[in-house]
Amino acid sequence: MDLRLLRYFVAVVEERHIGRAAARLHMTQPPLSRAVKQLEAELGAVLLHRTASGVAPTAAGAALYDEARTLLAQADQLRIRVAAAAGAATITIGTLADSAEQAGTRLAAAFHERHPGVDVRIREADFADPTTGLRAGLVEVALTRAPFEDSGISTLVLRTDPVGVVLRTDDPLARRDTLSLGDLADRRWFRLPDGTDPVWRAYWDAGEVRGDGPVVRTVHECLQAVLWSGTVGLVPLGHTLPEGLTAVPLLDMPPSRLVVAWNEADANPLVRSFVHIAAALYGRSS
């Protein structure tokens, strides 16, 4: 049985729609439909109920889905073990700002326990590229924060964090329990580098064109700009801040999402394993 056909079938069942599954697999609908029909012919069973609104597995399809997921996971593990034994198993993980630390040591420990022979490489990016090199092919999976322009990229949300404004401790607004964006209208805002992902820029600019403050590329630069220049800085709450800085929750700022991101078309089984491990640790569906 062709594992490729099984992987296609699993995507169709999970998306409940041929079109969405095709987009996820970065292919067109006709060859995906033909692949599913080929699988049905090989097995001699109807696997999907097809309706105008989508598809759903038949009893036979549901049984195949469960077994296919197990078989695909085993095949991935086999590939990884063989590559590790040959000294060729590597994965490059991109990180942004606090993402690796916020994901916690549990993820690193669980991945190493599952794949002790794999060479893990880390690439840290700056604010200009929230995909941390994923879109450019510099990394295979990313620990980062959404939102960003995500065409061709899949994400798994690990958790959401409220966002606050960072102020100097001697700032009168720092004594408030909460603030709104309107309270900061007359303040200098940090600026993001030229070429920054536009969706990412819009989020951290809170939906407006702002910024006559200094350009910042990292969390550290942002915090130092607040400390030295009185610039408004935004961060997910929970950071340990340098002495002299205070974070106040922003009531009208949407939360920041800590995510794992990857190219769905990436065939590296280590990427799929990384996503599944992260999903299991954080109780998320992958």
pLDDT value for 267: 65
pTM of the model: 0.71
Q: Would the pLDDT of 87 be above 70?
A: no
Hey, what are 2's tokens? 């062709």
Structural domains of the chain in order of their starting residue, each with its CATH number: 3-84 (1.10.10.10), 89-160+257-282 (3.40.190.10), 163-254 (3.40.190.10)
Q: What is the pLDDT of residues 152-173, one digit of tens each?
A: 898 999 989 999 999 999 999 9
Per the rule left: phi > 0, alpha: psi between -120 and 50, beta: everything else, 259 is beta
Q: Is the dihedral of CA 115, 120, 126, 130 positive or negative?
A: negative
Q: Would the pLDDT of 57 be above 60?
A: yes
Q: What is the mean pLDDT of the chain?
A: 86
Of 69-83, 116-130, 205-219, 259-273, give the range with the top mean pLDDT.
Answer: 116-130
Q: How far is CA 259 from CA 44, 66, 100, 267, 273, in A?
A: 40, 26, 10, 20, 15
pLDDT value for 262: 93
pLDDT value for 238: 79
In this prediction, residue 85 has a pLDDT band, given cuts at 50, 70 and 90, of low
Half-sphere exposure of 186 (CA within 13 A, CB side): 2
